[in-house]
Structure 1
Amino acid sequence: MTSALVQVDAPWSTEEFERRLRQVAEERYHDRHAFNIRMHSGDLTPVELRCWITNRFHYQRHIPVKDALVTAKLDTPALRRMWLRRIQDHDGQHDGEGGIERWLRLGEAAGLDREALLSGDTVLPGVRLAVDGYVNFCRLSPPLEAVAASLTELSAPDLMRTRIDAFERHYPWIRPDGLAYFRTRVSQGRQDSAEALRLVLRWARTRDDQERAVAALRFKCDVLWSLLDAVAHAGCPEGA
């Protein structure tokens, strides 16, 4: 009796693999979502913009949580030090520093109360589900997929520049000092995405590895898209 041969697809070249990853980021990133388009066109009301800031903060505050889960999966001190920087970028090394603090200041610059933001009482259920899904994905996935999911950062620097311009042009009622988060993420996002891309290109040796990495990036794009769906369709009361 002869066993059937299993056809295994050859891996993509490094160039083709990177092209496919970048294509996902270009085609599925949430900059194409109608809510983001309205934001950048200056069409959001103050209530809508404050609603987005409030709900996006729920995502922001969980970034260092998912990065801690990714860090725990990395098997060398050099890799852990590299990923640990991401946690420090968001949590800061001291009180009053970091990306989470800068997002709180964005909320205050837009007229939101810091304690209300920290309470999370008005976060929409759909946003909670999307964020929980991403954190659990990073908790349960192997390092390749957990890192590949972060590659939405390939598109983040351009989005941050677009957002800074839109806020300065269309939402002058938001104090300029509140835009510090966006300004900082231009350079941080560029560094983070370059590091993660090098890891994914190196770790994905088989076609199956490569396809799982692409699928992980698609999933992350869906998380960000779902967050905006929740904000756009559920609506927020005045003061949320």
Structure 2
Amino acid sequence: MREKIIAITGGTIVLPDRAIQGSILVQNGRIKAITPAEQTDQIQADYQVIDAQGMYVVPGMIDIHSDAIEKEIEPRPGSYFPMDMAFYELERKLVGHGITTMYHGLSLSGGVGVRSDEIVEQALQEFYRLSQMRSLIRHRLHLRYEVINFPAVDMVRKHISDGSIHLFSFMDHSPGQGQYSAPGSYTTYVSKTHGLQNEEARAMARLMVEKHAQVDWQKLKELAVSARAAGIPLASHDDDSKEKVDQNLLRSLSIGHARLCISSDQ
């Protein structure tokens, strides 16, 4: 038995090159036709009609970089909601904003709270399980790896190989470049976010700089090779200059023509 055709009528339909008044006919979950408003005679009596008068009808949006899930898990420092509750609560909000595919950003930074390695590991496992179940939208996982988080390399390898992530990006939040290129900006951020005193914040900034000098870039290339072999797109994060973009593109070429996109919080 043929499934009844759904007719979305009366709205402004946003197409790739223009917006028109008309109707969208949907059958078996796929667009069958888009008809201009003057062809209303094609809307038959047995169609299921959805009135979109005064609304825009747009394609479902794909968000490839969002930290929103972290706020659902830990809305305030030290206050945590169950993973499944955070997942489904955010899903409802995303649907309301027209997002039908979300790449949930989880920051493997070796930090505290929701960005600690332990909680990121829990979230990766739980969200991957939930994403395989029936849901309102398509859920994807974006693992964001801080280049100085040396202890987490094996964890990254595991999730690249087990197929639980769909986008992998390298982050470099060390002071003096990228997001914290302005003098003192990293210290200010740490003081505000973690409630540290000025000297403690400055000590953390110095530690970040020391660790950055110890980064094994060859090991990072090996992670990128593994991700590319698994069909996982690669990204760099908060590149602050053309030279940084070119450098990362060259690195991607040296690891087998890996795809590389640029993502930013700013």
Which TM-score applies when normalising by structure 1? 0.27
Higher relative contact order (CA 8 A, sep 6+): 1
Rg bigger for which structure? 2
More helix by share: 1
Which TM-score applies when normalising by structure 2? 0.25
More strand by share: 2
